[in-house]
Structure 1
Amino acid sequence: MGVSTSSPEKGAEKGITLVTVDFPPVNALPVHGWFALADAVRAAGRDPGTRCVVLAAEGRGFNAGVDIKEIQAHGPGALIGANRGCFEAFAAVYECEVPVVAAVQGFCLGGGVGLAGNADVIVASEDAVFGLPELDRGALGAATHLARLVPQHLLRALYYTSRTVTAAELQAHGSVWRVAPAGELRAAALEVAGEIAAKDGELVRLAKAAINGIDPVDVRRSYRFEQGFTYEASVGGVADRVRDAFGRVAREEGPGE
């Protein structure tokens, strides 16, 4: 359990670093998990032997966001920690010195959208769904990253309704590179990562810096702005009210995602 790093070094996979997240049961990351993920991605990018990073996850889903139970149990300190941890993890993916391929299976919710939205390439399984259920869970945020995946009006509709979109729908919008059967997801992600890793390592790093440099949105500043409203909802009592209601419904419906 936790965040692990491995380096498949055979044939076309040479030069790839695989960062894998595993926080059962649904990959809802605790505060320390977000920081561990940020550290792993940054370390992989600094490694001169790495030319591409694949960000993957074990279990039924790629990422279910923050650990709401941790926030409820520990209050403002946990909320601040989660905000800072998410900020660092999302930034680490975006600022990684080499391209990052996100291998997304199952559910990609909340913080998962932050990670995938800041990745360079997304490969998703046929069962993957993406969404921000923040308004149902007493939070805000990651609209910055969803805006990198869908057009503006669809972003707003998804954000206000907390509905999800499928990998196939995102592929139609051009934000998912490839949709693969669930059992072939890891191989499909490594395949595109292998294409990238086959390029000159120094030139790939220059390309990543150049593309980030022409990005029309400063994702760090934009997400930080969103986080201010998350904190306002918390100190104003709105977040607790919504989270408590969400918790009651979840208990009544039984185990789910």
Structure 2
Amino acid sequence: MGITLHGGGPVAEVVMDVPPVNALTVSGWFELARALREAGRDPVTRAVVLRAEGRGFNAGVDVKEMQATPGHAALVGANRGCAAAFAAVYECEVPVIAAVHGFCLGGGVGLAGNADIVVAAENAYFGLPEVDRGALGAATHLARLVPQHLMRAMVYTCRTVTAAELRAFGSVLEVVPRDKLREAALDIASAIAAKDPYVIRRAKESLNGIDPVDVRRSYRFEQGFTFELNLMGAGDRHRDAFVSGEAGADGAPGEEDR
């Protein structure tokens, strides 16, 4: 369990397996970033599949760790860890295919939104519960998955969207049964791996170079408002409510799943 890298061949797999809901600790986010960068640096690797075991793809940061840690070290660590992991997906030297099942929330949207290709299980859904957690962030990445006005509605209301909705927008390439998800992701990765590896790496570099949004800078700008909310007390208030099970239902895994 934890974060594992299965490499050594043309297609590498980075797997999140952190029960119960793949909500990552500070160290978990940095471990994920290291695994993705290691996979991309390996000259043998031609594509990376990022997937998860368990009930869902990723439920974001471990709020319990944050609230149990005195001071602001865990908040700062989680923000830096998320930034590192999201950047590792985006800056991976080869294409990254995110294979999403179940819930993809908060930090999960940051990972999927920065991936080159997203495939999803029929039960997958995506959302940002940040406003209900007294935080902001990953709208940068959500905007890569949904149109502008829907992105704003999702941020303000914390509503979620399904994989089928994202496929209609073109941001999810395929929607498949849960038991076919890994196979679908590996098929796409294998098709990429069959191309000239030098050309594919330059293609990834060139596509990042023409991106209209600097995702690193945009996300860090958002994170600044999370720190403001924390300074004003809103962050702790909403996180405490979530940890105590008082947060309203918003599609996120419930307290019983944490």
Both structures adopt the same fold (TM-score exceeding 0.5) = yes
Partners of 2:131 and 2:173 lie apart in 1 by 28
Q: Which residue of 1 aligns with 2:158?
A: 162
Structure 2 CA distance for partners of 1:5 and 1:65, relative to 1, 3 Å = same
Does the 8 A contact of 1:137 with 1:246 survive in 2?
Answer: yes
Partners of 1:178 and 1:200 lie apart in 2 by 24
Choose from 108, 127, 147 the match for 1:131. 127
Offset at 1:55? 0.3
Structure 2 CA distance for partners of 1:149 and 1:251, relative to 1, 3 Å = closer
Q: Which residue of 2 aligns with 1:214?
A: 210
Q: 1:140 is matched by which residue type in structure 2?
A: L
| TM-score for both structures, normalised by structure 1 | 0.95
Instruction: Give the aligned CA root-mean-square deviation in angstroms.
Output: 1.5
Q: Which residue of 2 aligns with 1:255?
A: 256
1:147 aligns with 2:143: yes
Percent identity at matched positions? Answer: 67
Does the 8 A contact of 2:5 with 2:15 survive in 1?
Answer: yes
1:89 aligns with 2:85: yes
Q: Which residue of 2 aligns with 1:55?
A: 50
- 1:5-84 aligned at under 5 Å gives the runs 5-7=5-7, 9=9, 15-74=10-69, 75-84=71-80
Structure 2 CA distance for partners of 1:112 and 1:42, relative to 1, 3 Å = same
Q: 2:243 is matched by which residue type in structure 1?
A: G
1:193 aligns with 2:189: yes
SS in 1 for 2:244: helix
Offset at 1:8? 7.8
Does the 8 A contact of 1:107 with 1:130 survive in 2?
Answer: yes
Offset at 1:249? 3.3
Please list every run of 5 or more consecutive structure 1 residues that lacks an aligned counterpart in the other structure: 10-14
1:98 aligns with 2:94: yes
Does the 8 A contact of 2:63 with 2:243 survive in 1?
Answer: no
Partners of 2:243 and 2:27 lie apart in 1 by 23
Offset at 1:254? 5.7
